[in-house]
Structures are given as C-alpha cells and as structure tokens.
Structure 1
Amino acid sequence: MDSAPLLLGSDPLPGVVDYQGRPVSRSTSGRWRSALFIIGVEITERFAYYGVSSNLITYLTGPLHQSTAAAAASVNAWNGAASLLPLLGAFIADSWLGRYRTILMASCLYLLALLMLTFSSTLPFLQPPDCSGIMDPTSCSVPAFQLIFFYVSLYLIAVAQSGHKPCVQAFGADQFDENVPDEQAERSSFFNWWYFGLCGGNIFTVSVLNYVQDNVGWGLGFGIPCLVMFVALIIFLAGTKTYRFYPIQKENPFAKVGKSIMALVRGRQINEIKQVNEDEILDSDYAKEAKEILKLFPIWATCLVYALVFAQWSTFFIKQAATLDRRIGPTFQVPPAALSSFISVSVVVFVPIYDRIIIPMARKITKKPSGITMLQRIGIGMVISFLSMVIAALVEMKRLKVARDYGLVDKPDVPIPMSLWWIILQYILVGMADVFTMVGLQEFFYDQVPDELRSLGLSLYLSIFGVGNYISSFIVSLIDKITTKNGDSWFANNLNRGHLDYFYWLLAGASAVAFIVYYFIARAYVYKSKDARIVG
C-alpha cells in the first residue's frame, strides 16, 4: 500500500486511508465536504429510481394492460426485490469490494438497466401494442418477448440498487468519526439532511417527471432518469479525493458473524468462563457479538407492518387519486402519481423543524445529546403511520359515498366530484412518519451493528421494506381471490365497486397491534455500548 508523509501539524486518522491507500488527515478529509458529494449522489440516484417506481403502476395498468390487483402485486414484488437484494450488495461490499467500488460498479449497471428500460418503451419492436380502441384493455395481450425484456430491465434496476442503496448511505456516514463528539453529532444530523435532500429531489421527480410520463410519453419519461443516473456517477467520482476509506478487514466479516452464532450456540459466555484458553476467549467475544446482531431482529420484525403501510402510497394511493377531480385551473390536471410529491414536501418541511427546533427542545428536557433515542423516534413514526391509515380509510369511505350519491358507481372513467385535496392529508402523514421511523431505522441499524458490517446494517433496514412489500403483495392477492368469490373484489378495476376502505382499516388495526408489541420490545432493548465497538 502506497503511503506518503502527512503535512506537519495534520491530524492523522487511525485505520483510515485516502483513495490511493495513504494515511489521511482529519482536517482535509471527510465530514461535510465529502458528505455533500454523497448526498448529491443519493438525490440524483433516487430521482432515477423514483422516476421509474413512483408511476410504475400506471405503466402496468396502461401500456402493459394489467388489472389493478395484478399491477399492485407486481409493483410490490419488484419493490420487495429492490429492498431485499441490498443484503447481497452489502455482503459483496463488506467482504470483498468495499463500498466505493461497489457503488461504482452498481452505478454502471444502473445506467445499463435504465437504458434498456428506455428502449423497451421507444423501439418499435419492444413497445407494447396500443389497445386504446379496445373496450377491455386487459384482454389485449402483450407479446412475451416484450414483457420479458421489460421485466429484465426492471429487475436489473433492482440488482443495481442492491449495491448502491446500502453502500452510499454507509459510505456517507463513514465520513464522520463517531469517537469525536462534534463529528458524532454531525453524523446524526447527516441522516436527517440525507433524507431531506432525497425527498427534496423527489418533489421534482414525481411532479414533473410523472407529468412527462402521463402526457408526453414513456420513452422520454424513462430516458430522463437514465441521463440523471449518469450525472450521479459524475458527482460520485468528483468527490473521490476527499473521501475517507476504511480498509476491508482481513477476516471476512460474514464468516465472523457465522463464527459468532456458532459460539453462541455452543453456549460459551464470558461470565461463565473461569480458566480458559485463548480460543475459548475468542469464542466468548464472538458470542457477545452474535448477541448484538440477533437482538436487532425483534425490532426488525415489529417494523414490518410499518413497511406494509408504506407500500400503499406507490400502489393504491395512486389508483385512489386517479378517480378524483384533479383539476387545478381551467385546463391543468395533476397526474395521480404526482400527488405523492406531498410526501416529499412534508419531509422537506418537517426535517428542519425536527432537526432545529424539536431536537434542541428535547435535549433540554431529556438531557440527552440526541434529544430522543433512536427507538423512541421510530415509535413516534409508527403512531403517525397508524393515523395515516385511519385518515385514508375515512377518505375512501367518503369517496365511495360521493360515487353512490352522484350515480357514478358504474362510471369509473368519470372523475368523482371530490377535490384532490381530500387525499392530501394521508400523503402528508406518510411523510411525517418517514421523518421519524424511516430515518430512525437508518440510524439505528447503522449504529447497532459491528462497525465492519455497517453496509449489512443498512441492508437489514432496507429488507424490512422488502419483506413488507412481499407481505403486501401476498395479502392483496389473497384478499382479491377471497373477495372475488363473494362478488366484487376489494381491489376491483372499478374502484367505485371496490372496498379499499376495508383494506385501510385492516392495516390500521395491524399497525396498532404492531406498535403495542414494539413498545414493550423497545423498552427492554439495551443499546450497544461504545466501548464494545470495534474501531476500524
């Protein structure tokens, strides 16, 4: 490894190197100078990702002619894969490639996938057939080759995200030294402003890009995210000389986890050992580390219902919004998917309030540097998520009543005389819940795993939403199958004959039960102590 002497008076960082493997100075590397590049990468990458995912259900029910229930299941399955595959990306990053190289390779794959997706909606032999003149568009089949090419492109995006998503955020947090109080506080703030930037970029994505997709064309609508992803790669490379790099551990960290679990199974505990040899002490250390990892899973499991609720804004919220009067002014009509920009708006508005007002006030009351604990933050968001489902159910009940009152039950193409503003509150509550639970989960899983497995920690957080999407897909398919036998499905293509309100009430009840279980688990949780952390 090439090394060079540091300048006189510099403050070298132990165990940290630059992009050429040389020792780095604290004063000339990392912190916000590096984090801003990485936040910029995340903003542009999320633009590309949400440019596809936020309006995907419209593409599936439109050009690909799928039913509402089938499209929702497809979206949930893809979102699930995109959230679970980061476990693989974290394994590769933490074991072999390192975060920087994993991000670089994932970005190139991202570009290829988005280019293929653009081709699927622009090249004549890959475009799905136009079925606008057919009475029942769902009876118009898309050739198998076109479907295969589209779904291969779509799932390549999920594979690319598996290397990008867990590593970019972990790499950003790595730029702050948790052993220095000022940098530790900056790292906690980094998670807030990370999500602020991400959602700020999404406002433009879901408002402008969804309009392009709905009114100009899907080719341009998918092509713009491809160009933006290229910009993300340029931004990431531009910050290379400022980054702090942590060399990969000689021992494979995942093999170490395996040894930890085996040591725990053998039941060797530190406090039970009287006279031991070196190997037994090592086993005891492994067992202690395994406990640190395994105790995260009850928290992980109780947050699955939150993920189940989170899955609805990209599926049924959009279909629900599509039935409303979305006119603003005499001619402009808001695209249904663009309403999800209110989630980002609420995050952009609330993050500064949380970071600059709520937390300083909480510090004065609790005397804690963080104001509230990570688990308290997650729990508050779970309560807000429950309220969002209650509001969504009440709004849907109102929507169905208006449809009946105006004789529009069997006229799904006629907008219901009910303003789009009725549905805004549930979007805002989802955004507020994200500020607490989503950001809290990111910080919690990054902070509570062993230092060399922090990409894994963030992939565990993402896997909550992957499993949640698959649970949502399963529940939607099951309810659709059961309710169709007894009449109209809860998720009928004509939502005026469906019962989304029943589904939302079901999720509200599940959220309440999940929070009660979470409350008792969180109260018993013991945070990882700083002196147990491995510096490296």
Structure 2
Amino acid sequence: MESSGSSKAKSITGGEAELKLCDAESKRAGWNTFPFITGAMALLMLAGTGWMTNLIVYLIQEFHVNRIDAAQIYNVVNGCFCLLPILSAIIADSVLGCFLVASVSSSIASLGIVLLSLTATLNSLRPKPCGNNKSSSCKDPSNLQFAVLYTGIVLSTLGVSGVRFTIASFGANQFESQKDQSTFFNWFFFAQYAGYILSSTLIVYIEDSVSWALGYWLCVAVNLIGLVVFIVGNRYYRHETPQGSPLLSLARVLVASFRKRKLQLPLISDEFYYGPHGLNKEVDVPPKRNFRFLNRAAVKADGDTKSDYSIAKPWRLCSVQQVEDLKSVIKMIPLWSSAIFLSTPIAVQGSMTVLQALTMDRHLGPHFMIPAASVLVMIMISGLVSLALIDRLGSSFPLWKKLIGSPPTVFHRIGVGHLLNVLGLIVSALIESRRLRTAHLHHLQNVNNPTVPMSALWLFPQLILVGIGEAFHLPGQVSLYFQEFPANLSNSATAMVAATIGISYYLSTVLVDLVRRSTGWLPENLNNGRLDCLYWLLAGMGMANFGYYLVCAKLYKIKDGSSNSGLPMSDDVGESKMRS
C-alpha cells in the first residue's frame, strides 16, 4: 500500500510538473512579448536618432566643421544607418540569431553615445569656442578630439543600425498568424516613429537650448533602459535557430555560375539540379532562357552532390529554384535603380534644409526658438497623416478612376511619389530664391553666420511635400517587392528599400561634392551661394528619372506575365506585407 501511494504521489507530481511546463510554454511568444519588444524599440530609436538628427548642428557649433562638410558627414551616417541593417540581418539569419545581434548592437550603441557625450562634457575633447563669431578666430579640433568624435559616431551608427531590422524580425517571429504579425508591425513602427518624432523635438530642443551634454547623456540613459527592457523580456521570447540568410543563396548562384562559366549548357532537364529529393522537384521544368549564363549554376557535375542527393559544394551547385529566384531579383533592378535616383535628391534636400534653417529666423514668439534639425520632423508628420488618409481611401479615389478609368496600382502610387518629390524640389528652389533676395536686400552676403529676417516656417511646404511623396512611393515599393519577390525572399523587400535609401545618401555626398568643386553654388556662407540652382538641377534630374521610371514600369512584366495593371494599390496581401 505504501508503495502504491508513493507511486500515485510520483504520478501526481509528474503531472503537476508537466502542467507547469505547459503553462510556462504558453506564456512564451505571442502578445506577452509585445510590450518588451515595442517598448525597447521606441526607447532605442529615441536614443539613436536623438544624437543623429542634430549631428549637423553639433559638428558646426562645437567642432567648427564647414557647413557643407557637416552635411556630407550627416549623409554618410544616414547611409550607414540604412545599409548596415542588411549586414546585421544576414549575421542574425546565418549565425547569431536576432536576439543576440540586437543585444550586442544596443551595447555597442551605448558605448558610442557615451563617447559622444564625453566630447560634449569635457572641454579637453572639443576645440575652444570661436571668439566674436568670426571664423578666423576658430581653432581647429586636434587629432585626439577628432578621433574620439568619429569613434563615437562610428560605434553609435553601428549599434543603432544593428537594432532596427533584427528587432522587427525577432518580434514578428513571436506570432504565428499573419494577422497578428500585421498588427504587431503596425504598432511596432508606430512606436519607432513616435521615438523618432520625440527625439527630433524634445531631445533636439534640450541639446540646442539647454545643454549638449545633458541631451547626449539623456540618450545614453534611454538607450540603456531600452536594452534592459529588451533583455528582461527574454523569459517570454521564443528563439529560433538561425537557418541561413536567403540573400546568401543569391550570392551562391553568382559564384557557382562564374565558376562553371566554361561549362556547356545541357539540352535535357535531367542534368539540372532540382532539389535534395531528386524526383520531388521544386521546379519541374528546366531553367528559363532569360539570363542563361546563370543556368550553369544548376548544372550537375561530378562531386557536386552527396549520396543522399543533397548539395556537397554549395558554392558550386545551386537548385533551379535558387537560380530562378535570382533572376526575379535581377528583373527588378531597373525599377529599383529608379528608386535610388528618386531618393538621392531627397537626401540632398534634407541636409541642405537644415543649413537653410540655421540662417533663418526660427523664433515662435519671444521665448521659443525651433531647433534647426527639428524642422525635418515635418516630413515624418506629413508622411504619417498621408499614410492614414491613403489607408482610409484605399483604391476608391473617384477622381483617379475618372481620369485613368481603373483603380490605381502600386506602379501608379510610386509614380505619384516621383512627381510629388519633383514638386517639392521646385518649391525648395523658389523658397531659397526668396531667402537669397531677402539676404541681399539686407546686405548679409559678407556677414558671418547672419540671421536672414525670414521665418523658417517657409521651409515647411517643401518638407510636407516630401512627406506626402514618401507616403506614396516608399510603401508602394515595399508592396511591389513583396508581391514580386519569391516567397523565401519576401522578407528582403524591406532590405531592398533600405538599401535604396542608403545608396542614395552616398550618392548625394558625391553629387554635392561634385557641385561644390565645379561651381560656386555652395560656399560656407549660403548667402553668397546659389543653393536654388542646385534645387533646380535636382528637379530636372527628378523629371528625367521619372521618365526613366515610366519606361521601366511599362516594360516590366509581373510574375504571371500580365501587364503591371494587375497589381492593385490596395491588394490585401500586399498591404498587410507592406506595413511590415
């Protein structure tokens, strides 16, 4: 009897342990993780963009950097901010996982912002202030001061970049249904934008009007709190084993096709590799004849496969499906390149608008002055309002239907974005012409750092147009890539847009440097220059790029081979993916 009772007790104990285990598992993933992931993202973005948004002003005022050079540095940092997340995503997918990459990146960001805070706190780490506002009396920073400054910028940029996409992907992996994922992404990016807006207003105001040191140390504190919030939620997270980045499979196709470039293409389909199961082919037809040089990557050769028919040499043999995936990406390159040339003028416009604001009257009443970097928040605000309106209107647009005769497609949406941004550049040129006339009227051409008696609120119309344009073309691009990319590469759609913006920032630095070397449009004192001419040049380039986009869109064939009108702007699947 005692033995029987003991056995029953063990059974009950075992059952309770199993129930506790099931209960613990039920608390993992899902909406339990939501407050930790979105809260961490909002805090990390608040800290990351808090120093980045005001970087131009900090370099000019505290390190005596030339105004155009400061704008160039700002564009390079923003380029890294958009391109480096792709590298962090590859590392997370292939080796470390999203949680570890995001945690390490946040720690690196904290270290970088600490260095920036030290440059703002310790007088020995920045040059002495200029005397009497004359550039001739400004002392250049020492090599040590520049080293600490740029090390802080590099580490901060690396850290913030490593957080953005990895936390987004990590959060999406906590949900099973597409509906929950779509809802998560909506709130996740709302938290990210809220952090950006708060940093562009509150943090920037503290840096400009109270103390650079206080603003930067506040960024350090917020970044550390965000890291703690993210790590505390670890008990609720579901971790997935890295399976390898799909972007690497595209690289393997390129390498394999180059290594087999002298190989004769076979005439029968059985000589191509279709997958590890041989007969259960992923694609039951030979590779298509477009981009035929890539088909060699799928040709089987001696030693390419193992006894179980799996690939023995991944960089010498790829499946037909992998080859076709790369072809579908290559087919998108012309449209993608038109987006690069669309974003390049926007990058130039953003940095130059901050320089314009520095020369204008930014007072709102007798006691408040708008920080120069804060004017850019109008792009985000107008973009968010426009997105909400577009989302509510959907594909109805009665005026559009009257003019075109059919509902708008994603191609139409992107095209409208092109035209709105050209219009924004034209408005920028007209506003700058008025600012220059006002400066000349008051004889401010030869005055160092003058304030032109013209309100900085005049800059808002051009920024509002940029925001509305982005509400059209950026989601339109993501939606197009999601619908046209292979299923296993759908998550790379956001990376494509990020790469577009990142490359455009680098191209903008090249363009500005070329204009500065070949013309007199961009001197240190903008009142002596012709920034309006640069805007007119960008508007002309924008119109030429719009024509290029129209040609690319006209020639493009969607997956099913029909015309591009088959991609409605409000496609349910496209819209839910677009928001992610």
Determine whether 1:319 maps to 2:319: no
* Residue of structure 1 in register with 2:8 after alignment: none
- CA deviation after TM superposition for structure 1 residue 167, in Å: 1.7
Check the 8 A contact 1:48/1:225 in 2, yes or no: yes
Q: Which of 494, 500, 512 is 2:531 aligned to?
A: 500
Once residues 226 and 153 of structure 2 are traced to their aligned partners in structure 1, the CA distance between those partners, rounded to angstroms, is: 19
- CA deviation after TM superposition for structure 1 residue 476, in Å: 1.1
Structure 2 alignment gaps of length 5 or more: 1-20, 273-277, 279-297, 301-317, 402-406, 562-572, 574-580
* TM-aligned CA distance change 1:351 to 1:396, over 3 Å: same
Check the 8 A contact 2:362/2:456 in 1, yes or no: yes
* TM-aligned CA distance change 1:504 to 1:70, over 3 Å: same
Check the 8 A contact 1:116/1:153 in 2, yes or no: yes
Check the 8 A contact 1:292/1:449 in 2, yes or no: yes
* Residue of structure 1 in register with 2:115 after alignment: 116
Check the 8 A contact 1:381/1:434 in 2, yes or no: yes
Partner AA of 1:463 in structure 2: A
Once residues 373 and 171 of structure 1 are traced to their aligned partners in structure 2, the CA distance between those partners, rounded to angstroms, is: 31
- CA deviation after TM superposition for structure 1 residue 38, in Å: 3.6
Q: Deviations over 1:343-388 (max 9, x none)?
A: 2222333332232x1226369x99xxxx865554433323222221
Check the 8 A contact 1:313/1:340 in 2, yes or no: no
* Residue of structure 2 in register with 1:519 after alignment: 550
- CA deviation after TM superposition for structure 1 residue 34, in Å: 4.6
* Residue of structure 2 in register with 1:4 after alignment: none
Partner AA of 2:193 in structure 1: C
* Residue of structure 1 in register with 2:502 after alignment: 466
Q: Which of 306, 316, 320 is 1:284 aligned to?
A: 320
Once residues 377 and 245 of structure 2 are traced to their aligned partners in structure 1, the CA distance between those partners, rounded to angstroms, is: 42
Determine whether 1:260 maps to 2:296: no
Determine whether 1:361 maps to 2:393: no
Partner AA of 1:287 in structure 2: V
Partner AA of 1:88 in structure 2: L
- CA deviation after TM superposition for structure 1 residue 238, in Å: 4.7
Q: Which of 450, 460, 466 is 1:430 aligned to?
A: 466
Check the 8 A contact 1:128/1:142 in 2, yes or no: yes
Check the 8 A contact 1:191/1:439 in 2, yes or no: no
- CA deviation after TM superposition for structure 1 residue 255, in Å: 4.5
- CA deviation after TM superposition for structure 1 residue 78, in Å: 2.2
* Residue of structure 2 in register with 1:16 after alignment: none
Q: Secondary structure at the match of 1:417?
A: strand
Once residues 491 and 401 of structure 1 are traced to their aligned partners in structure 2, the CA distance between those partners, rounded to angstroms, is: 16
* Residue of structure 2 in register with 1:218 after alignment: 212
- CA deviation after TM superposition for structure 1 residue 219, in Å: 1.0
Q: Which of 195, 205, 218 is 1:201 aligned to?
A: 195
Q: Deviations over 1:61-98 (max 9, x none)?
A: 11111111221222222222332222321221121112
Partner AA of 2:547 in structure 1: I
Partner AA of 1:219 in structure 2: A
Once residues 438 and 242 of structure 2 are traced to their aligned partners in structure 1, the CA distance between those partners, rounded to angstroms, is: 61
Q: Secondary structure at the match of 1:422?
A: helix
* TM-aligned CA distance change 1:173 to 1:516, over 3 Å: farther
Task: Give the TM-score, by structure 2 length.
Answer: 0.75
Once residues 245 and 354 of structure 2 are traced to their aligned partners in structure 1, the CA distance between those partners, rounded to angstroms, is: 44
Q: Which of 389, 396, 405 is 2:425 aligned to?
A: 389
- CA deviation after TM superposition for structure 1 residue 330, in Å: 2.0
* Residue of structure 2 in register with 1:398 after alignment: 434
Partner AA of 2:254 in structure 1: I
Check the 8 A contact 2:28/2:235 in 1, yes or no: no
In the TM superposition, what are the counterparts of 1:445-484 in structure 2 within 5 Å? 445=481, 449=485, 457-483=493-519
Once residues 505 and 240 of structure 2 are traced to their aligned partners in structure 1, the CA distance between those partners, rounded to angstroms, is: 33
Mean Cα displacement is larger for which, 76-85 or 256-265?
256-265
* TM-aligned CA distance change 1:401 to 1:466, over 3 Å: same
Check the 8 A contact 1:374/1:440 in 2, yes or no: yes
- CA deviation after TM superposition for structure 1 residue 305, in Å: 2.1
Once residues 337 and 35 of structure 1 are traced to their aligned partners in structure 2, the CA distance between those partners, rounded to angstroms, is: 31
* Residue of structure 2 in register with 1:410 after alignment: 446
Partner AA of 2:150 in structure 1: Y
Q: Which of 378, 382, 385 is 2:414 aligned to?
A: 378
Check the 8 A contact 1:120/1:126 in 2, yes or no: yes
Mean Cα displacement is larger for which, 201-210 or 94-103?
201-210
* TM-aligned CA distance change 1:86 to 1:445, over 3 Å: farther
Once residues 386 and 428 of structure 2 are traced to their aligned partners in structure 1, the CA distance between those partners, rounded to angstroms, is: 21
Q: Secondary structure at the match of 1:342?
A: helix
Check the 8 A contact 2:108/2:159 in 1, yes or no: yes
* Residue of structure 2 in register with 1:237 after alignment: 231
Once residues 270 and 181 of structure 1 are traced to their aligned partners in structure 2, the CA distance between those partners, rounded to angstroms, is: 41
* Residue of structure 1 in register with 2:285 after alignment: none
Once residues 301 and 191 of structure 1 are traced to their aligned partners in structure 2, the CA distance between those partners, rounded to angstroms, is: 27
* TM-aligned CA distance change 1:65 to 1:293, over 3 Å: same
* Residue of structure 2 in register with 1:107 after alignment: 106
* Residue of structure 1 in register with 2:331 after alignment: 295
Partner AA of 1:473 in structure 2: T
Q: Secondary structure at the match of 2:62?
A: coil
* TM-aligned CA distance change 1:501 to 1:528, over 3 Å: farther
Once residues 328 and 139 of structure 1 are traced to their aligned partners in structure 2, the CA distance between those partners, rounded to angstroms, is: 30
Q: Deviations over 1:429-480 (max 9, x none)?
A: 2222232333444555566555665665533322222221111111111211
* TM-aligned CA distance change 1:258 to 1:200, over 3 Å: closer
* Residue of structure 1 in register with 2:289 after alignment: none
Check the 8 A contact 2:129/2:138 in 1, yes or no: no
Q: Secondary structure at the match of 1:62?
A: helix
Q: Secondary structure at the match of 2:128?
A: coil
* Residue of structure 2 in register with 1:50 after alignment: 49
Identical pairs, percent:
28
Once residues 266 and 479 of structure 2 are traced to their aligned partners in structure 1, the CA distance between those partners, rounded to angstroms, is: 30
* TM-aligned CA distance change 1:375 to 1:271, over 3 Å: farther
Once residues 233 and 447 of structure 1 are traced to their aligned partners in structure 2, the CA distance between those partners, rounded to angstroms, is: 34
Partner AA of 1:148 in structure 2: A
Once residues 194 and 382 of structure 1 are traced to their aligned partners in structure 2, the CA distance between those partners, rounded to angstroms, is: 27
* TM-aligned CA distance change 1:467 to 1:207, over 3 Å: same
Partner AA of 2:332 in structure 1: L
* TM-aligned CA distance change 1:168 to 1:513, over 3 Å: farther
> Greater RCO between the two (CA within 8 Å, min separation 6)?
1
Q: Secondary structure at the match of 2:453?
A: strand
Determine whether 1:146 maps to 2:181: no
Mean Cα displacement is larger for which, 438-447 or 216-225?
438-447
* TM-aligned CA distance change 1:149 to 1:446, over 3 Å: farther
Q: Which structure has the larger Rg?
A: 2
* TM-aligned CA distance change 1:275 to 1:451, over 3 Å: closer
* TM-aligned CA distance change 1:153 to 1:442, over 3 Å: farther
Q: How many residues align?
A: 493
* TM-aligned CA distance change 1:273 to 1:252, over 3 Å: farther
